[in-house]
A and B are shown apart, each in its own frame.
Chain A
């Protein structure tokens, strides 16, 4: 059974710092991996999606990498801003026939 974990559970950084969020999954046979953002009391917003054949995806200050063999993905946020404060969740899809499995999330606080 696929299990997804995220470390750390919470992170607080000063504004302007670069940071890395980690996601691990137990079954390396995945179809894709996605990073979401969730603001308090809100639904999820998709940030980046990496197909199993890809190594990384970039969008603005965000860069997500994928290492299937080790069962890991990282989300790199450059020059963090207070507006980046939110919970970040990763989610994996085993095959195109499976349901998405979410990690528990990392709660990020960027201090002005």
Chain B
């Protein structure tokens, strides 16, 4: 398809396990964002990539969270030693906008349908 694809759609893991969430952005999109959305809340920014460079990871809640985009296309968000508070929907968004350093006007963003992560 032509949209942002995320996999898996649902992930259930036991507390303490590691998980990996995948995002396939729209082909050619240079900018890629990860968001965390708790139930009943709006998305919260986690990290931003421009091509393969991770320019901002200030939203990652702890050092258990790690994101990469080694070839500037597919991105993986990894969560180590998962905890119950990690349960949320993780959204990925991509944009064709070439962002200069520090510019986050990021319009338009195209969102994937998210991965719903449940930690038991």
Question: What are the interface flags for A76-112 relative to B under an 8 Å C-beta threshold, 1 for contact and 0 otherwise?
Answer: 0000000000000101010011111011110000000
B42:A105 contact, CB within 8 angstroms: yes
Number of A positions contacting B (CB below 8 A) = 24
A102:B104 contact, CB within 8 angstroms: no
For the complex formed, measure the closest distance between the CB of B35 and the CB atoms of chain A, giving whole angstroms.
Answer: 8
A97:B103 contact, CB within 8 angstroms: yes
B104:A97 contact, CB within 8 angstroms: yes
Does more than half of chain B's interface fall in helix, strand or loop, or is it mixed?
Answer: loop
Bound-state Cα–Cα, A4 to B103, Å: 21
Interface: B1 (CB within 8 A): no
B91:A104 contact, CB within 8 angstroms: no
Interface: B62 (CB within 8 A): no
For the complex formed, measure the closest distance between the CB of B84 and the CB atoms of chain A, giving whole angstroms.
Answer: 21
A43:B105 contact, CB within 8 angstroms: no
B45:A99 contact, CB within 8 angstroms: yes
Q: Which of B4, B41, B104, B108 contacts A93 (CB 8 A)?
A: B104
B105:A102 contact, CB within 8 angstroms: no
Given contacts A44-B43, A102-B43, A102-B44, 20 further A-B contacts (CB under 8 A): A34-B107, A41-B113, A42-B114, A43-B111, A43-B112, A43-B113, A44-B91, A44-B109, A45-B111, A46-B107, A96-B104, A97-B103, A97-B104, A98-B104, A99-B45, A99-B56, A100-B104, A104-B40, A104-B42, A105-B40
The chain A residues found within 8 Å of chain B, CB to CB, are 4, 9, 31-32, 34, 41-46, 49, 89, 91, 93, 96-100, 102-105
